[in-house]
Structure 1
Amino acid sequence: MKKTILSGATVLLLLMLLTSCKSKGKELPNLSTPPNIIYINVDDLGWKDVGYMGSTYFETPNIDKLSKEGMVFTQGYAAAANCAPSRACLMSGQNTPRHGVYTVSPSRRGNSKTRKIIPSSNTDHLTNAMVTMAEMFKTAGYTTGTFGKWHVTMDPINDGFDINFGGDHRGNPGRNGYTAPYNALPNLEKAPEGEHLTDRLTTEAINFIETNKDTPFFLYLPYYAVHTPLMGKEELIEKYKIKGGSQGQDNPVFAAMVENVDINIGRLLSIIEKLNLSNKTLIVFTSDNGGIRSISSQNPLRAGKGSYYEGGTRVPYIIKWPNTIKAGSTNATPIVNLDFFPTFMEILEVDLPNKILDGISILPLLKGNKIEERPLFWHFPIYLEAYNESKDDGRDPLFRTRPGSTILYKNWKLHHYFEDNALELYDLEKDLGERNNLVAINPEKAEELYNILDSWRKEVNAPIPSEPNPEYDPNY
């Protein structure tokens, strides 16, 4: 661990500043203690599924208030378009080719007669040898707790967490799983019948904060909501039935789930304030991937969860850190959840010399500065079948995505599909919905991005499937 040694003169100056601020009734942040960190990871919440991002249907007053207290990233991304790989990327700090978690097994999704090539194999979980974000926090002396969906290994306790409520290998709470009894989710076996899962996870997270208020803690709050099965509180469902929606945001059960997440985030923020921890706590609010388009449209973004169009990977982001982040600020710099591992390492001054990280520290952005423009990469050498052929808005009606890679660089986005070696090029500044393929008009830009993408794939040893599928039937 890095250590900072202060001179006697510096210590004296700090003491004078502390005395001065106390005499004026102001609270001075503790400069020697790293912040508590809370990472809220809502499941399948789309870019436009919150009020502060422009939705007039979903009511999220607590999240909206958080957006005014922190920095909103309008071009924030998940490192993968579905649950398991996105979480594996977050917790490992590494992109999908390094750990091989691309989806929830198997990789051969959809009807075999419609798959032109044999997809790459999928890895279910991170290996024990992988240093996780939680283990990094333990290196810095933090107490760690996870409350909700883990979906990265079999047991988060083996991966750096001191406390686990509700997390194992599962990707959803199961049938009727949002009300107790909870289908044997870890440490939630004893629950009053009818208790709501989102409420309970928040209660346990609050207990964790109260217990550890005097020591640095890392609280990972990956709600199972708003993942299917869609189950909401009846009074909220009725509210949204009466309210009604439009333009693809009109599902009252889903809206009830979104609002209940917001209510519980309000509970969490209230306890942070009550315990006078606000100035000592960094909070991240985001989602693991885009929303399911047939449940909630993300217009103008194209497609949704499972797709590598913007609707599948662009997600809401708020970061709050008083005395460092300017409240009410907005940042259009592209960031990705891979960036949080190196960011937290820099904040905590932790060195992991043998750790390979694919993101960068965004601490300069949080302090109001800039970072060098860099490409972002996605690699998905497998298939994901369609949710809804008429609403998914993907490249074809049978799959949310077919095997391919994507690069985003300076508002230009290139998709490369392996089945037919096709390229799609979009200028997101002018075409956020990815409707106008510019490959034929601007082949030079397509070639430039392809070369950067291909170099990256070679660097990380990304598998590119090409073996024909003998079961493929072009006439099916």
Structure 2
Amino acid sequence: MTVLLRLNLFVLLCILSLSGRVLAEQPPNILFIYLDDFGWRDASFMGSDFFETPHLDRLAGEGMVFTNAYSAAANCAPARACLLSGQYTPRHEIYNVGTRPRGDARHRRLKHVPGVETLRPDIKTWAECFREADYTTAIMGKWHLSDDPRDYGFDINIGGTHSGSPPKGYYPPHKVPGLENAPADEYLTDRLSREACAFIRNQQEKPWLLYLSHFAVHTPLQPKKELVDKYQDKSPGKLHKHVTMATMIQAVDDGIGQIVETLDQLQLTDNTIVLFFSDNGGLAAATDMAPLRGYKGTYYEGGIREPFFVKWPGVVQAGSKCESPIIGVDLYPTLCEMAGIEMPDQICDGRSIVPMLRQRGAVQERPLYWHFPAYLQASGQVEREECRDPLFRTRPCSVVRYGPWKLHQYFEDGGIELYNLLDDPGEQHNLAETHPDQKRELLYQLTAWQQEIDAPIPQTPNPQFDPKAEAEAIRKHR
């Protein structure tokens, strides 16, 4: 080998080594896909026998799937507030969608705790942390926590307002920022996916964080018209069969396929972390989380356990699974650790799951908490069969999960429910009377947490409560 050839080879090796270090030192891009009312089993990789999600299935197979991932609340606004703040509901005080009492006043025994409906601006979101770290940040789709998400760390907002659903449905006029002009037949989910692809193509100079917070599959249930015939001709599954929901889910999945193709074309796949999550359980009329009990709005497993996976090239082992329970407030410290961003000086109730993703060391068990001092009325017969009573999806309550055990505490009547989720994931067998020691331990733990976090416990009797009217309404629905 000549001296010149050796020199050229040495230079080439140096360049390759340097480029490798530069690539390794580049901050990762973050694609956070967050769906609305997407149930625990609504994806094929989670067991759906009717809905089709091939692109989600592929991403899940390339990452780690969490089988015990929880939202921090059972409905939209509080779940999102917990996610963006890293704090449980008593800290940010968003307990419900709106602050007014829900359900018939004659059936509510206590005055609810109204809370607030806007995320306090003094709470620093993870989007603000990323923007300060020189990321370009964007939200596309549902926001639901204020009038404008740009006040909370997002450089770009397409679609985000205080609205919890598409203001005019999934077909134009969309009536949300950035989508004022749209073809008459444009499906909102498709448009948001195209906007996501365009955003990624335009980000060449800085790392980016894209919070793709689809309105789908929230009501109104409006099908993507060109997919209706396909699912009407398809044989129903034993678990799922709702044609409109199937078209809405495929629209999401097709868009994800387009985004993945864009990442591949731009050679960004290896430096992009993908997270997939949902805000609460599915809508009772359109899906089923069996064997889990409950739906959106309930604090049984079907209302809060969600599909969740992380694809992190070079870090997360493809095809891996994690059984350890995690919760929405964990995503704040997780996102920051992934990007090497320092956590702000404010309370965070979550714990980074990066050690789980790296599969390093044992996972220390810790309790997970929920607090809902309000009411959510039932809206259909299917829900009533899955709830504690036929009038409300949930009444004021607190919940704790620790290991396989889960305890519900209801404030109206002092009711306690205790379940072993390992043996009984459907929460069918209340063990509160047969396991008094376990009940006592979890109730003590929950009460101590309520006191520590200053959780408001509704105690004031509702003067409009009518026990006869309540009893008659319950009788009619049973």
- The answer to whether residue 85 in structure 2 is matched with residue 92 in structure 1 is yes
Partner residue of 2:163 out of 170, 173, 194: 170
Displacement of 1:349 in angstroms is: 2.9
1:403 corresponds, among 369, 389, 396, to: 396
Q: 2:36 aligns with which of 21, 39, 43?
A: 43
Counterparts of 1:360-371 in structure 2, within 5 Å, are 360-369=351-360, 370-371=362-363
Does residue 19 in structure 1 map to residue 29 in structure 2?
no
Cα distance in 2 for residues equivalent to 1:328 and 1:248: 24
- Residues 60-117 of structure 1, C-alpha deviations (whole Å, 9 max, x = no match): 1101111111110011110101000001111111110001101111341000011011
Equivalent pair of 1:343/1:363 in contact (CA under 8 Å): yes
TM-score (ref. length: structure 1): 0.93
Which residue does the alignment assign to 2:437?
A: 444
Alpha-carbon distance, 1:452 to partner: 0.8
SS at 2:400 equivalent:
strand
Q: List per-residue Cα deviations over 1:184-208 (Å, max 9, x = no partner).
A: 2011101111111111111111111
SS in 2 for 1:469: coil
> Could you report, residue by residue, the CA deviation over 1:234-262 in whole angstroms, capped at 9, with x for unpaired residues?
23122111113244521101111011111
Contact 1:51 1:59 in 2 (8 A): yes
Q: Does 1:153 align with 2:183?
A: no
CA distance in 1, matches of 2:270, 2:124: 29
Q: TM-score, normalised by structure 2?
A: 0.93
**1:42-63 deviation line (CA, Å, top 9, x unaligned):** 1100001010011111111101
- 1:283 & 1:337 partners in 2: Cα distance? 16
Bigger share in helix: 2
Preserved CA contact (<8 Å) 1:149 1:167: yes
Given that residues 140 and 213 in structure 2 are in contact (C-alpha distance below 8 angstroms), is that contact kept between their aligned partners in structure 1?
A: yes
Encode CA deviations 1:106-142: one digit per residue, 9 max, x unaligned.
Answer: 3410000110111111210101111111101112111
Q: Does 1:287 align with 2:284?
A: no
Question: For residue 181 of structure 1, what is the amino acid of its counterpart?
Answer: P
1:250 to 241, 257, 262: 241
Instruction: Name the stretch that deviates more: 256-265 or 387-396.
Output: 387-396
Superposed, which structure 2 residues align to 1:212-223 within 5 Å? 212-223=203-214
Alignment partner, residue 307 of structure 1: 298
2:109 aligned partner, one-letter code: K
Equivalent residue, structure 1, for 2:185: 194
Tell me which amino acid in the other structure corresponds to 2:286: I
1:379 and 2:376 equivalent?
A: no
**For the residues of structure 2 that align with 1:449 and 1:107, how far apart are their CA atoms?**
31
SS in 2 for 1:316: strand
Matches of 1:352 and 1:49, distance apart in 2: 33
Alignment map for 1:59-458 (pairs within 5 Å): 59-175=52-168, 177-182=169-174, 184-247=175-238, 249-369=240-360, 370-392=362-384, 393-458=386-451
The residue type equivalent to 1:213 in the other structure is Q
Structure 2 CA distance for aligned equivalents of residues 421 and 17 of structure 1:
70
**Counterpart AA for 1:227:** H
CA contact (8 A) 1:148 1:222 kept: yes
1:30 match: secondary structure: helix
Amino acid at match of 1:385: Q
* Contact 2:49–2:239 (8 Å) recurs in 1: no
In structure 1, what is the Cα distance between the partners aligned to 2:365 and 2:15? 38
**CA distance in structure 2 between the partners assigned to 1:372 and 1:17 by the alignment:** 43
Hey, what's the Cα distance between the residues in 1 that align with 2:405 and 2:13? Answer: 51
Q: For residue 411 of structure 1, what is the amino acid of its counterpart?
A: P
Q: Is the CA contact 1:107–1:383 (under 8 Å) kept in the aligned structure 2? A: no
Q: 1:18 to 1:429 in 2, by over 3 A?
A: farther
Distance 2:443 2:120 in 1: 31
Structure 1 residue 16: Cα displacement: 6.7
AA aligned to 1:384 is L
One-letter code aligned to 2:234: K
Backbone CA RMSD of aligned residues: 1.6
Percent identity over the alignment is 46
On the 8 A contact 1:303/1:312 being kept in 2, the answer is: yes
Q: 1:390 to 1:146 in 2, by over 3 A?
A: closer
State the aligned residue count.
456
Question: Quick one: structure 1 residues 318 and 213, their matched pair in 2 at CA, closer, same or farther if it must change by over 3 Å?
Answer: farther
